[in-house]
Amino acid sequence: MISLSRRRLLAGTGTLAGGLLLGGTPGRASAAVTPPRVYTRAEWSARPPSSPVTVLDSKPDHIVVHHTASGNTTDYSLAQAGRLSHWIQDLHMDTNGWSDSGQQLTISRGGYVMEGRDRSLETVDAGKLVVGAQTANQNSHTIGIENEGIYVSQDTTTMLFDSLVQTCAWLCVAYSLDPRQAIVGHRDYVTTTQCPGDVLYARLPELRTRVAAVLGA
C-alpha cells in the first residue's frame, strides 16, 4: 500500500526556499526549482530486483521520454499510479526477462511521479546514474521517464504533462543539463518504435521550452 506521507527530495548544488539551485554550468542562469513529490519503491511495494542494479559514477546526458502504450485511463488516483508501477515491473521482469523495471521514473495520468528502477532516487540525489533498460544500447548515458498512456493520436492529461515539466526541470538541475538539448523521445534513439507516440513526441519542443522557462535559461 502506498503511504501518503510527504517526503521532500533534494538534489543539486544547493537549496533555496525549499527548492533547488541550478549552478555549476557557465553561461546559464541559476534558478530555484521545486522537486516533484516522488513516491518511492517502498511506498508502492516494489518487488526487489532479481539481481543488483549497476550504478555509474557518471551522470546522464539525456532524458528520454516514453509512453507506456497502456490504456488512457480516467482513473487519476494514487492507487492507479501504484497499480501502474506494479504492471510495468511485472511486465519488465516476467515478460521481458529484465532484472527490474527498466525506467528510472514513471508519471501516471493523474500526475503522480513514481520511482521505477531500484536506487533511482538515491542516484539522482548523488548526481549519478543507475543503469536502466529503457533505451536499447543507450542506457549507460540516459535516464528514462515512462508516461502512462498511449499518445499516438490522443494527448496527455494536463496533470501528467505538468508533472513531466517539473520532473524534467528537477533532473536538469540535478545533472546540470540544458533541456533544449537533453530532452529527447525514445524514437530519437530507436527508429523502429513509435514511442512516445506522435502526439507526445510533437509536444517535446513545448516541453523543452517550458522546462527552460522554469530554469530561467
Average pLDDT over residues 96-105: 98
Cα–Cα–Cα angle for 39, 12, 138, rounded to 5 degrees: 75
Indicate the burial class of 205 (C-beta count within 10 angstroms; 0-12, 13-18, 19 or more).
Answer: exposed
Predicted pLDDT at 52:
97
Predicted pLDDT at 7:
31
Average pLDDT over residues 14-25: 36
Predicted pLDDT at 32:
72
Residue 101 has pLDDT above 60, yes or no: yes
In DSSP terms, which residues pair with 113 in a beta bridge? 38, 107
Distance CA 21, CA 52 (A): 32
Which CATH superfamily includes the segment(s) 35-215? Answer: Peptidoglycan recognition protein-like (3.40.80.10)
Round the average pLDDT of the chain to a whole number and report it: 88
Place of cell 549552478: 23
What does the pLDDT look like over 142-197, one tens digit per residue? 999 999 999 999 999 999 999 999 999 999 999 999 999 999 999 999 999 999 99
Of 3 and 69, more confident? 69
Domain boundary assignment for the chain: 35-215
3-state secondary structure 204-216: HHHHHHHHHHHHC
| pLDDT band at 217; cut points 50, 70, 90 | low
Q: What number of H helices and E strands is found in the chain?
A: 6, 11
Of 21 and 201, more confident? 201
Q: Parallel, antiparallel, or unpaired: how do β-strands 105-107 and 142-147 relate? A: parallel
Strands (E), the chain: 15-16, 19-21, 32-33, 38-39, 55-56, 62-67, 105-107, 113-115, 129-130, 142-147, 183-185
Distance CA 153, CA 150 (A): 8
What does the pLDDT look like over 114-150, one tens digit per residue? 999 999 999 999 999 999 999 999 999 999 999 999 9
